[in-house]
Amino acid sequence: MSWISVTIDTDCRHAEPLADALLDAGACSASIEDADAGTPDETPRFGEPGLSAAPGWARSRVVALLDVDVDVVRLLESCAAAAGLPGVPAHALEKVEAQDWVRLTQSQFEPIRVSERLWIVPSWHTAPDPQAIVLLLDPGMAFGTGSHPTTRLCLEWLERTVTPGCSVLDYGCGSGILGIAAARLGAVDVLGVDIDPQAVAAARNNAARNETRVRFEDSAVEIRGQFDLVVANILSNPLKALAPAICAHVRPGGRLALSGILPAQTGELIAAYAPWIPLALVDGREGWICLAGTKAA
């Protein structure tokens, strides 16, 4: 069986209504992407307390998967009208052949060696080093498979910093990989929070799979207490907005690490956290950096 992938560039006001209309008309799937993804004009979108973000992107891209026998022009004409767009929008078509999608997806993810003693291994692989600390983690809807440079930077910081019996807070936990790694490295009181309920659910499943006692909660739930180590792998703007809240959860003498930061953003992040914790550049990888510091005792 084969399908047709149709791609339509539009604006943020029409993207969601158009995607909804395509789904209502029988599309197998419809997604909205940044039309400028992978270019200097790419615009990250996030949701964090105290921040507002416009839905979609100024230049949005709707991608829908259709049955091969669909009259694409007629379908687009009716869906565009439902979304408030005049006529048939400009679009690109691509035939998608049937494949073993599970095997194809799995083939793209191999075990990742973080360090001499730390590996990230998808469930369909055998751990390359049975003596290593192995994190079982499959790609999913939540961010954090270990392949992104910012996740690697945080994992490497945790490996250098976690001591047996310490407490750890992962702010913006995604898949839960950092909290799970902290627990496997010897931390005993580990909490991960995220604004996305799907991420929290995925993190809990991953913790159970790795047989670790890590708590994962929605970030709307009050975080109680302070922690020996706090790590936040998000993005520059939410990190700045959340500086007072994040620093409040670092105990006196505790340590903080931040990633999701570009080198050009180093100065503004250091300035944003200066009232609470002095930060310094500790590592970098593939155009991303990690800042870390110790809270005064």
71-90: burial string, b at 16+ Cβ within 10 Å, e else? eeeebbebbbeebebeebbe
- Taking only the tens place, the pLDDT of each residue in 71-82 is 999 999 999 999
262: left (phi over 0), alpha (psi -120 to 50) or beta: beta
Question: Looking at residue 180, what is its pLDDT?
Answer: 94
Percent of the chain with pLDDT over 70: 86
AA identity, residue 16? E
Cβ neighbours around 177 below 10 Å, total: 27
The CA-CA-CA angle for residues 281, 284, 288, to 5°, reads 105
Taking the mean position of all CA atoms in its chain, how far away is CA 1? Answer: 32
Q: What is the pLDDT of residue 101?
A: 47
Domain regions of the chain by residue span: 2-98, 144-294
CATH of 144-294, one of 3.40.640.10, 3.10.310.30, 3.40.50.300, 3.40.50.150: 3.40.50.150
Compute the CA torsion angle 83, 86, 88, 91 (nearest 10 deg): -70
The total of other beta-carbon atoms located within 10 Å of residue 198's CB is: 11
Cβ neighbours of residue 19 under 8 Å, at least 6 residues apart? Answer: 30, 31, 32, 62, 64
Residues of the chain with pLDDT under 70: 1, 44-56, 98-110, 124-125, 127-129, 139-146
How much is the pLDDT for 102?
A: 46
Q: Which CATH number fits domain 2-98: 3.40.50, 2.60.40, 1.10.3470, 3.30.70?
A: 3.30.70
What pLDDT is recorded for position 105? 47
